[in-house]
Chain A
Amino acid sequence: MANDQLFKTHYTALAAGISGNSDPDAVKSLRKTAIKEFTELSFPTKKDEPWKYSKVDGLLSSLFSPAEKMSAVSDSLLTSVQFGNLETDLYVFVDGKLNPALTQKSPESSVSVITLKEAFASVPNFAETFLSKSSDKSDLFANLGSAFLQDGAFISIPDRKIQTRPVHLLFISTGNLVQPKLIISAGKSSESTFIEHFISDGNPAGFTNVSTALFLAENAVVHHTKITDESDNGFHIGRIEAFQQTNSTWKSHVITMGGGMVRNEVTARLSGEGVNCLMNGLYLVTGTHHVENITLIDHQKPNGTSQESYKGILSDKSTGVFDGKIIVQKDAQKTYANQSNRNLLLSDEATADSKPQLEIYADDVKCFHGATVGQLDEMQLFYLQSRGIGEPMAKAMLTHAFAVDVLNSIPQAEIREYLDQQILERLHSPFHFEETEV
């Protein structure tokens, strides 16, 4: 494939230009291995299992380069993505690079956020502890990210600290190759909330290729919400992998609202006993856009529970994919796993592919899964209309009702309301969310 070659040549040439001479040897060798792997791996095709329905091949015809300098960010853009009056620690990454001038942080915060460069220099054995665990060594895009490894952040919360104030990690793309790496380390019995929020400034073409690794120590609780709302012309590939120690709880929400081609890969490794994992997702796809969600829940030890619910709302000529696997390994007795994927098609020309999979190697487990693809219910629609509610409004209400329970497990009402409003806007809804207190 000639394009494949061009793709490789373009990105390896750029990766060679990364200046990292002062970085630790472990980091340098990691980049080097990644470049090698990247060159040797072939571009995924429809024959490769988790890429069957993928539309990443658009990346072969649009090549991107890293931003040359850091762009300014307007106040109005920053204001537009606040979660109502919710106070957060805000960190703004422009084209993947932290802009410290825009940081807003409470002095009482227990969460520390430093750049990767700072982490290389100051955290002992950083590469060995946090960079080599990741399982994505055989993945082309993961290697592409590692080949450029320098942007992003190392985020940590100490043992036993409870931080209710959410940490808002805002990634603004101005239309370039953007490849941040996030590492989140949650100490024993700590509790914290992170929002990874991806937006574009304007409507540029760009390619965001982001990796997030989370390390949850014993009894840690992490609320993690990723919002993808980038340009219609953009590509977004995101990998999230959580390593969960004994009795830890990870609540993941992956909300995709915008982007021309979005691929979310979400993996949970339940590597301790009694681990809880919640994986919720919502993908709202319009126009000719495409969103794919590839999830993996890997139950490795006994007494773990996982609850997964992904919902897709597809309109116009959009396409959505859910490919979700649950593995229950031999040791993982008394596992409870429940997976569901439901899709709502708002147009005859939209399509949803769903592929739930269970692989069970233990015998004493309770596992459930199910998938549906359907339309709005005619009787419900008629019932609303028969009360005077116009058809567009009635459709918006039902669509919203379909989506809303995915958000219910986000602890902050302000974030739920923000997402709610965004969803309604995307549905071009004349209906506005307004609760009446009874």
Chain B
Amino acid sequence: MLSIKNLHASIGGNEILKGISLEVKAGEVHAIMGPNGSGKSTLSKVLAGREEYEVTAGSVEYLGKNLLDFSPEDRAREGIFLAFQYPVEIPGVTNIMFLRTALNEIRKYHGKEPLEGPEFLKLVREKTKILDLDDSLLKRPVNEGFSGGEKKRNEIFQMAVLEPKLAILDETDSGLDIDALRAVSDGINKLKNKDNGIIMVTHYQRLLDYIVPDFVHVLLNGKIVKSGTRELALELEEKGYDWIREEQKEEVV
């Protein structure tokens, strides 16, 4: 469903992504790991359409269309969802109003009637239960004053309501306590089916115990330098990234 070929992107003249290629088929779960600053969030945001980053080369095809032609909102309407590493606080907009507007904008795009209050609430209730999300968070302004864990949970709650086709989860597991990790994993697993793709950016093996990836990729200095299966994640957990850096040097030599 997603085919990234030789993607280069820069910001303020600095090249961050230096030729990324990645193939995600429907039904697959991909994990992306890599040291701090290697470009994982940049890749996520470029896919979601953040205009701050300039794509200088390469292509991204999503469900047969050129993804880079779409505005951020149209990407979301076409089924792409980015769970932010740092969810944004929006004072003055309640979580519930935000989500209802988003859902109805997406429905409108697909020619569907907006969900009225009671139907919408029913949907929301279902999803809050899965994520064990406190009702009071719905009435509060989006992410404002939420704890780190609450913010992450709120991202997955939004995902659960919007039901995307391709979810890109940027370090959704960071900062979660054990119960929250389980709740969030449940939420993600509910989305997993043969039609949907999931890309998970993570630093830890822990999440992969709950959501088993089909592929694991290592992103280093703006490039995917190694791909493998879940065993690769275990190896990284044990040995860190230095051995991969060494391998890279050898290749260059």
Contacts and interface: CB of A to CB of B under 8 A. Distances in A.
Interface of A: 378-380, 382-391, 393-394, 397-398, 400-402, 404-405, 431, 434-438
Given A388-B105, A436-B117, A379 B88 contact: yes
Contacts of A435: 94, 97
Contacts of B120: 436
A402 B92 CA distance: 7
Interface in B109-139: 109, 117, 120-121, 124, 135, 138-139
A345 B82 CA distance: 29
Given A398-B90, A436-B120, A431 B73 contact: no
Contact of A436 (B82, B93, B96): B96
B90 A383 contact: yes
Contacts of B50: 382
A380 B101 contact: no
A389 B101 contact: yes
Given A378-B52, A387-B76, A387-B102, 9 more contacts: A384-B90, A384-B102, A385-B72, A387-B81, A387-B158, A388-B76, A389-B102, A397-B101, A435-B97
Contacts of B201: none
Contacts of B109: 388
A252 B1 CA distance: 57
Contacts of B72: 382, 385-386
B204 interface: no
A380 B88 contact: yes
B138 A388 contact: no
B101 A401 contact: no
Interface in B48-69: 48-52
Nearest to A403: B92
B119 to A, nearest CB: 11
12 contacts: A382-B48, A382-B88, A383-B88, A386-B73, A386-B82, A387-B102, A388-B73, A390-B73, A400-B93, A431-B101, A436-B100, A436-B117
A378 B71 CA distance: 14
B102 A401 contact: no
A393 B101 contact: yes
B42 to A, nearest CB: 14
Given A393-B105, A438-B138, A387 B162 contact: yes
Nearest to B95: A438
Given A404-B92, A405-B92, A436-B96, A386 B139 contact: no
Most B CB atoms within 10 A — which of A390, A397, A404, A437?
A: A390
Interface string B78-94: 00011010011011111
Contacts of A391: 71, 73
Contacts of A382: 48-51, 72, 88
B49 A386 contact: yes
A389 B105 CA distance: 6
B82 A390 contact: no
A249 to B, nearest CB: 26
Contacts of B82: 386
Given A393-B101, A436-B96, A383 B84 contact: yes
Could you say which of B48, B84, B105, B135 has the most chain A C-beta atoms within 10 Å of its C-beta?
B105
Contacts of A387: 76, 81, 98-99, 102, 158, 162
Contacts of B100: 434, 436
A380 B75 CA distance: 17
A69 B62 CA distance: 69
Q: Which of A383, A387, A437 has the most CB of B within 10 A?
A: A387
B106 interface: yes
A242 to B, nearest CB: 29
A385 B93 contact: no
Contacts of A378: 52
B37 to A, nearest CB: 19
B40 interface: no
B90 A385 contact: no
A86 B72 CA distance: 41
